[in-house]
Structure 1
Amino acid sequence: MPPTVVELFGAKVKKLPPETLDVLVFCACMGNRFTAEDIALILELELLALFERLKPVLSMGLLMESKSELQFVHDRVQEAVLRLLDAERRRAIHWRIGHHLLQAVPAGKALAKQDNLFTIAAHLNLGRPEQLDKAATLTLIASTTRPATRLWKPSPPKPPTNTSAPPWRCCRRTAGSAVTRKPSRSTRNWRKPS
């Protein structure tokens, strides 16, 4: 008996057919929840072929369907699958995921209006650190166009640096309707020598 839950799930995962395991690693890199349409798009498979490959995992109860999504039955299952990947293969999978999701954006649609923009940027960032120009651009677009989902809050506007009183407060009207300057603090108590 394996000593940890991850090793228990890892032992089950290793018994899967290779074509199922290939699909499962992409699912694990997508996250705990993902859509079958996204996986089919990334792997360039028909939905029927995708579910044929996932049939052993679904029958073992390692993946479950919830509404329009698939999800790992436990986060330790996802972790067990991810442990099968070396760092270079994992980066390549993330890059492929981000690239395919980016290619699926319709040509006329603005990137800033994409619902999955943060997902695309995250996969590109995890995929190829040496090619951060596209990923950085998407991250910038994502963080500046969606104020409600920003991870950081912009600082409030700073007050003007000029601390002198506004022009309308430095003068006062006198009885003769002429405008005179208010005395400053330093000259308020000063008297003309007699």
Structure 2
Amino acid sequence: MSNTEKASEALHQAYKELELARSNYDKGAIRTRIRAIEKTLTNPIEKVTEREPVTKITSIDETLQVKESVYLLSGAQGRIITVDQKYETAKIENATGIVLQHLVLNTSCYLKNVSNSTLEVTAQQLRLVNCSNLIIHAYTKTGVYIEDSTHIIVHPLKPQQAPNWPNNTTIYDFNHTNEI
């Protein structure tokens, strides 16, 4: 128990005793005790002479603040795109004949309906759905997941600044026909 808590408890106890003493004031012998209690109440908290640890209470709202940036690319055709900043995640859909360079993500990259393209991606995970004729240079933590996609070639990427995990270019095939 800290000094402040002890002083607070002593103050509370003194007030209780004072009320009891006042109710019994006419008994004469109690006068001395009342004077001692009144003296205690004039300066109830003693000076803090030692450092006490301070606890900071953080609300749940403060810990859940997430600044998420999403790279969205939809409907692009026949373009060379160089990405010059890092994003949390990416969603690329309905793109044809693109060359996407230097896409660096903290988490995952989702590709849907992308065809005849070349991509250079660093992400924890790549997911391809309904894609065809892609060459992907990938640096991933958990691999490349393919569903309903054909003619996908994955090469290991050597990025300028590699993440702190080893490159895993394992392809996980969830195609119905097993044609990659």
Higher Rg:
2
TM-score by length of 1: 0.21
TM-score by length of 2: 0.23
Bigger fraction of residues in strand: 2
Bigger fraction of residues in helix: 1
